[in-house]
Amino acid sequence: MRLKDKVAVITGAASGIGRETALLFSAEGAKLILADLNEKEGLLVRKEIHEAGGEAEFIRIDVSNAQDCLEMIELAETKFGGLHILFNNAGIMHSCDDNAENTEEAIFDLTLAVNVKGVFFGCKYGIPAIRKSGGGSIINTASFVALLGAATAQIAYTASKGAVLSMTRELAAIHARENIRVNALCPGPLRTELLMKFLDSEEKKQRRLVHIPMGRFGEAAEMAKAALYLASEDASFVTGSSFMVDGGITSAYVTPE
């Protein structure tokens, strides 16, 4: 087991990447705090983990709320006695997020509040807890759009993920000598709820697929395996990285037919 006796907090744990990562981390021996806005689905993930013999607690939080994030970290400490792994993964892509001209200020603010402040608050309260536990690993979910301009306009989302990458680099440098590693996981386009609700026709899916050398969408379970690597001792010399798990999209100029 690669995470035996480790305590992990996962935000956005009710769905997609967060859910798959919770199931995998639990199978690898971690004790989990599952945090999400969606209580119904979050409790189902907890149930699934309990039925498989794992240990997990759910807390309903809004990652853009500082007090909620503090309570999430405190729960890890009171319930499981510390914190070693923090996966700041919750994020939104708003349906009204568009180009600079058409995007309302409120949509921009909301997207940055969840995607950027959520990571900041997780780190603000999580770092002291990880330090007290002797060190550990923080993983922040960014996106391939932090590196490439998205042809389908989503200015707030793209800005937010760029901020996650730059915060990650600074956090990694500042905390490297405290045995705290900080990396950004950069998924390519995935077959999860977040993206598929926008790519709701075969034509829209195909338009995106032409850019991915592997010719398919990624799976949340594939991101979970990457998160496991970054969380575990296998990545003991890896910090400050923008870890691309994207089917080659950021490496390709033209994709094969």
Which residues are part of the catalytic machinery? 157
Which position among 54, 122, 189, 247 is part of the footprint of ligand NAD (CB under 6 A)? 189
Distance of alpha carbon 221 from alpha carbon 141, whole angstroms: 14
Q: How far apart are the first and last CA of the chain?
A: 41
How many residues bind to ligand NAD according to rule CB under 6 A?
A: 29
Residue 39 interacts with ligand NAD (CB under 6 A)? no
Distance of alpha carbon 175 from alpha carbon 39, whole angstroms: 33
Which position among 10, 12, 80, 85 is part of the footprint of ligand NAD (CB under 6 A)? 12
Distance of alpha carbon 199 from alpha carbon 193, whole angstroms: 10
3-class SS of residue 246: coil
Distance of alpha carbon 108 from alpha carbon 226, whole angstroms: 29
Residue 91 interacts with ligand NAD (CB under 6 A)? yes
- Choose the stretch contacting ligand NAD; rule: CB under 6 A; options: 55-63, 79-87, 129-137, 166-174: 55-63
- Choose the stretch contacting ligand NAD; rule: CB under 6 A; options: 148-156, 168-176, 185-193, 225-233: 185-193
Q: Hey, which residues between 158 and 177 contact ligand NAD (CB under 6 A)?
A: none
Is the CA virtual torsion 22, 26, 30, 36 positive or negative? positive
Of the pair 131, 252, the CB lying nearest ligand NAD is at 252
Residue 23 interacts with ligand NAD (CB under 6 A)? no
What dihedral do alpha carbons 68, 87, 13, 50 form, nearest 10°? -100
Residue for token pair 């999430």: 72
Binding residues for ligand NAD, rule: CB under 6 A, are 11-12, 14-18, 36-38, 61-64, 89-92, 114, 141, 143, 187, 189-190, 192-195, 220
